[in-house]
Structure 1
């Protein structure tokens, strides 16, 4: 069993040390470099970043949908706080991984159905009847990632897909 299967931490530290030595011009035993798993791990970093983006977008859409459709009043502030935290998380993620910006519209579109199903399930668990049909709700990237909340005026067009960073530096 290789270090990769036995202990990923030991494997990553060893491979990183070998790669640093090689980058510095030092000769290393080529057989010690686990190229297949190095490539897989590099690709997994990108998948992980996309997964974080999808998760945060899904959570925002779910909570925006509940804010728009739920008759409940007590949990609204908590839903807004969750949206604000997820927007801040996405802003930090986009600063660290700017290339994810080009995937925002697609991510919002892909997560809409999942998020609406979660919102519907949550309302059903709480015996709430939505005030509006959840299947009719649509949000743009601008609505999901910008400062907008349901009930604020004016409501940006859901067809708008422009995204301006939520960063206020």
Structure 2
């Protein structure tokens, strides 16, 4: 009984890791005629979307925790919120270091990320008054370093 070798299209659909390995091998051998360009283009494009989505998610978490730390009077939670702020800042810095072209994107997504963060904290802390708009500088270097809760 002969085992049928899947075509490139079915390999992509049946075993993504094997498709990746096959594609890398073909690229290394410069076998451009045998590449599955359609799926390769889609996968490369999705990598960029994935990085942007991760940046937005991390920014939303960062903003939500800055809002909590700044406006919610709950000292027993301050340390946990600050640890989350530190971690999200670290991860955002790593993303921006790995992909510097994401830095302008940070400004593009800021308003939407703030709105998402605001929706979350307003639901969680219904008795706390949070500002409708971000009250501080949105410059990336400031956002990733400043202790906003120390301001009055």
Per-residue CA distance 1:123-150 (angstroms, 9 max, x = gap): 24xxxx10x3342544432376332123
TM-score by length of 1: 0.76
Aligned residue number for residue 3 of structure 2 = none
Aligned residue number for residue 135 of structure 1 = 132
Aligned residue number for residue 15 of structure 2 = 7
Query: Comparing 45-54 with 62-71, which one deviates more in the overlay?
Result: 62-71
How far apart are the structure 1 equivalents of 2:133 and 2:35? 53
How far apart are the structure 2 equivalents of 1:133 and 1:95? 31
Aligned residue number for residue 94 of structure 2 = 92
How far apart are the structure 1 equivalents of 2:11 and 2:143? 41
TM-score by length of 2: 0.84
Aligned residue number for residue 122 of structure 2 = 120
Give the match's secondary structure for 1:74.
Answer: helix
The 4+ residue runs of structure 1 with deviation greater than 3 A are 136-140
How far apart are the structure 1 equivalents of 2:43 and 2:14? 15
Aligned residue number for residue 70 of structure 1 = 72
Q: How many residues align?
A: 143
Gaps of 5+ in 1: 23-27, 156-169
Aligned residue number for residue 144 of structure 2 = 146
Per-residue CA distance 1:100-138 (angstroms, 9 max, x = gap): 1111111222211001111112224xxxx10x3342544
Gaps of 5+ in 2: 1-8
How far apart are the structure 2 equivalents of 1:94 and 1:47? 14
Matches for 1:17-28 after TM superposition, within 5 Å: 17-22=25-30, 28=31
